[in-house]
Chains A and B, each alone.
Chain A
């Protein structure tokens, strides 16, 4: 029950109770967005945002910059490994 699913906010359903329609892998569901709304992100600005939905509540924004950073680091790790491999091979044949 602790796993969340990423979804994209498509429309606001109820501004007073902070209910939004979220597209979760093609399924649209009413979701409470209280936990992802603050002064910096007022409800009206949430459309199009990616959130992690958990038991009918949007619990966190998916931070695209952080996601990109993680992926970049992983790619870099891969490159580093490839480079080490080349170094080793070259070193062995030298």
Chain B
């Protein structure tokens, strides 16, 4: 497919790896490894799939970030989804990733098995089409994800509004990347030196929302794509910043990410959504301004209002996570998945106990899929 072969060329990868090693051996400390967080679960996947992590010098360590929208979803939100799906006449629609995330009672997949009409869709527009076709039913779309998915759900809501559809609503669980990054940066347990920033979030928001990372926290950041050469080049750019004593927001993924982001997408987001006062993330606790909600002007399309959900956001939901699961510490990059006692034992992709094992973008699922079940294997 277009650009794919070029960005996977093994010979170029080898040369880039050599460049990174050279820079690391001359310009980085040999004792304290540089800790670089790849925020996005898609990047974690690329790192493992192509064995990039094992090609890096010992003094560069990757910390896997919380950038998987399904993984930061509190269990109580899944409970809310199930509660909506259980209402008579509801067709509950969602991206596939969200189907298997455990709630405190059950997952959406289990709700479906128990007779609820839960349907997996490829696009929020598919949910809208269902609403048109089934005027006697209530169609709810579970809108989740970072900024990558926000324009599509906002534009779908605006389309429903234009058509005057009364039986369509969004259950809004979107979260914003910069606010989540700020929460990570203020976490006292983490020692981070720099970021690889998500390519497809950035294609929507542009490069400037990251300026605070370099300005206020003095951590260099490189926006990158998902092909192996993209990530290697971004790592090389980041190490070069350290070597040259610079601290900047750089854009490796310029073929997709414009500096100003996506103007039409940002306009739709601003029209439909506003910051939520309280938002609770799994593993990260209360992140004041990272969650968003549907504006009052579009309340008719807000499933929370339509169904009068019992969940009180101000109370928080983190306490619902089972104690023996260390999802929170893995999400924050404090421990590696194999340090959780449940990992690959009671918690595995066939029977996921925590959200990080559910979505292929989750770091536990990625570690499991690529056989990184223990430290000795990771370093092998």
- The answer to whether A34 touches B254 (Cβ under 8 A) is no
* B2 at interface by CB-CB < 8 Å: yes
* B318 at interface by CB-CB < 8 Å: no
The residues of A that contact B226 with a CB separation of less than 8 Å are: 3
Query: Max chain B CB contacts within 10 Å: which of A6, A59, A75?
Result: A59
Known: A37-B264, A57-B151. A77 touches B15 (CB 8 A): yes
The residues of B that contact A1 with a CB separation of less than 8 Å are: 69-70, 95, 97, 144-145, 148-149, 359, 361
| Chain A contact patch, size range | 35 or more
The residues of A that contact B41 with a CB separation of less than 8 Å are: 2
The residues of A that contact B233 with a CB separation of less than 8 Å are: 70, 73-74, 77
How would you classify the secondary structure of chain A's contact residues: helix, strand, loop or mixed?
mixed
The residues of B that contact A47 with a CB separation of less than 8 Å are: none
- The answer to whether B124 touches A55 (Cβ under 8 A) is yes
CA separation between A44 and B279, bound complex, in Å? 42
The residues of B that contact A71 with a CB separation of less than 8 Å are: 6-7
Q: Which positions 1-53 of chain A face chain B at CB distance < 8 Å? A: 1-6, 8, 17, 25, 32, 34-38, 50, 52
Q: B79-112 toward A: CB 8 Å interface, digit per residue (1/0)?
A: 0000000000000000101000000000000000
**Quick one: which of B2, B15, B42, B264 contacts A82, CB cutoff 8 A?**
B15
Smallest CB-CB separation from B263: which chain A residue?
A38
- The answer to whether B155 touches A57 (Cβ under 8 A) is yes
- The answer to whether B95 touches A60 (Cβ under 8 A) is no
* B195 at interface by CB-CB < 8 Å: no
CA separation between A52 and B9, bound complex, in Å? 21
Stretch binding the partner chain, chosen from B130-138, B164-172, B197-205, B367-375:
B197-205
| Chain B contact patch, size range | 35 or more
- The answer to whether B40 touches A55 (Cβ under 8 A) is no
* A62 at interface by CB-CB < 8 Å: yes
The residues of A that contact B149 with a CB separation of less than 8 Å are: 1-2, 54-55
- The answer to whether B125 touches A32 (Cβ under 8 A) is yes
- The answer to whether B155 touches A74 (Cβ under 8 A) is no
Known: A57-B155, A66-B255. A6 touches B1 (CB 8 A): yes
Smallest CB-CB separation from A82: which chain B residue?
B15
What is the minimal beta-carbon distance from A91 to any residue of chain B, in angstroms?
15
**Quick one: which of A35, A54, A75, A81 contacts B264, CB cutoff 8 A?**
A35
The residues of A that contact B265 with a CB separation of less than 8 Å are: 35, 59
- The answer to whether B3 touches A67 (Cβ under 8 A) is yes
Smallest CB-CB separation from A64: which chain B residue?
B255
* B52 at interface by CB-CB < 8 Å: no
- The answer to whether A55 touches B15 (Cβ under 8 A) is no
CA separation between A62 and B358, bound complex, in Å? 31
- The answer to whether B198 touches A2 (Cβ under 8 A) is yes
What is the minimal beta-carbon distance from B251 to any residue of chain A, in angstroms?
9
The residues of A that contact B252 with a CB separation of less than 8 Å are: 70
* B257 at interface by CB-CB < 8 Å: yes
What is the minimal beta-carbon distance from A38 to any residue of chain B, in angstroms?
7
**Quick one: which of B7, B15, B144, B148 contacts A54, CB cutoff 8 A?**
B148
**Interface set of B (CB-CB < 8 Å, partner A):** 1-4, 6-7, 9, 11-12, 15-16, 18-19, 40-42, 67, 69-70, 95, 97, 122-126, 144-146, 148-149, 151-152, 155, 159, 198, 200-201, 203-204, 226, 229-230, 233, 236, 252, 254-258, 262-265, 268, 359, 361
New A-B contacts (16) at CB < 8 Å, excluding given A38-B263, A60-B262, A74-B9: A1-B69, A1-B144, A32-B125, A35-B262, A54-B200, A55-B123, A56-B122, A56-B124, A57-B155, A59-B203, A59-B265, A69-B254, A70-B230, A70-B233, A77-B236, A81-B18
21 A-B pairs with C-beta separation under 8 A:
A1-B359, A2-B40, A2-B41, A2-B146, A2-B149, A4-B203, A6-B3, A34-B268, A54-B148, A54-B149, A55-B149, A57-B125, A59-B151, A59-B200, A60-B256, A60-B262, A62-B2, A67-B6, A71-B7, A73-B233, A81-B15
**Interface set of A (CB-CB < 8 Å, partner B):** 1-6, 8, 17, 25, 32, 34-38, 50, 52, 54-57, 59-60, 62-64, 66-67, 69-71, 73-75, 77-78, 80-82
